[in-house]
Structure 1
Amino acid sequence: MFVKVAKTPEERNDAYYVRRTVFVDEQHVPAEAEIDQFEEDAVHFVLYNEQEQPIGAGRYRIVDGIAKAERICVLANGRGKGSGALIMKAIEEDAAERHVSQIKLSSQVHAIPFYEKLGYHTISEEYMDQNIPHKTMIKNL
């Protein structure tokens, strides 16, 4: 598996395909909420499997001097294999290269243990986003 920064329209479409499959098809997030006004401001990442098929995606943008990781997702057949950690590592490395010292994210509650293993800690109470419970998490880079 390998992660790429999505630089071409095709790579960006690969990211959107994974996001649509996970968030819209599996989690029933409205399609109009999945693609938002921040797409052009974000750095997008795509995780490809050995056959060079997209199986994971994520993005981040810098907000008030802090990297904000968003839309982290992996297709069902790619989960449990370190896929999400590869995406997060690529995002964290890219943010660090831009001299950002912290990264935060809005984690679905069920994913909190995953992010805790990567060094994130919770900084908010539970809240709802698209009818899915979340908590904000942060990590020093």
Structure 2
Amino acid sequence: MNVKIAKTTKEIEQAYNIRTTVFVEEQEVPAEEELDEHDDTSTHFIGYLNGQPIAASRLRYVNGYGKLERICVLKDHRGKSHGKELIREMEDAITNDGYEKSKLNGQTHAVEFYQKLGYETISGEFMDAGIPHVTMVKKLPKIQAK
């Protein structure tokens, strides 16, 4: 999969379409909660497989953390490490921007997936859009000065 930062209107719309498919259609998150006021100021990532958009996410910087949000892969492409690739690209962007910590609110069914990527749970379970979540964090490696 080729992951890139969505820069064009078309790429951002593709990311929104994937998020809508996964979160609004599959998980029944209200559209007004999925696409929110943070989209305009976030960095959006899109993953392509054979030229087709199959994965999306967004990144914001909040309280000293790179916050990974809206991480999703289309159903037919899950279980093939595409989510892991997407997260690695986001983590690279965070460290390249000079941050050393990442954070996410992960759905509880995905906790083990995030733990395998080095994330630790720091909260109790809470509901977001009617879905149980926990907050997880990870310390990222510092970029070595050249």
TM range (shorter): over 0.9
Q: What residue in structure 2 maps to residue 25 of structure 1?
A: 25
With normalisation by structure 1, the TM-score equals 0.98
Instruction: Name structure 2 gaps, 5 residues minimum.
Output: 141-146
- The within-5 A match list for 1:57-136 is 57-136=56-135
Tell me by how many angstroms 1:117 deviates. 0.6
Counterparts of 2:89 and 2:43 in 1: how far apart (Å)?
11
Identity of aligned residues (%): 49
1:64 Cα shift?
1.5
CA RMSD of aligned residues (A): 0.6
Find the aligned partners of 2:123 and 2:135 in 1 and give their Cα distance.
5
**What is the Cα deviation at residue 12 of structure 1?**
0.2
- C-alpha separation between the residues in 1 aligned to 2:59 and 2:34? 14
CA distance in 1, matches of 2:105, 2:24: 17
Look up the match of 2:137.
138
Q: Matched residue pairs, number? A: 140
Given residue 57 of structure 2, which amino acid in structure 1 is its aligned partner? G
What is the DSSP-based 3-state SS (H/G/I as helix, E as strand, rest coil) of the residue aligned with 1:16? helix
1:32 partner letter = E
Structure 1 portions without partners, runs of 5+: none
TM-score, structure 2 normalization: 0.94
Query: 1:65, CA displacement in angstroms?
Result: 1.6
Q: Distance in 1 between matches of 2:121 and 2:106?
A: 9
CA distance in 2 between partners of 1:40 and 1:13 (Å)? 12
SS in 1 for 2:80: coil
What amino acid is aligned across from residue 103 of structure 2 in structure 1? K
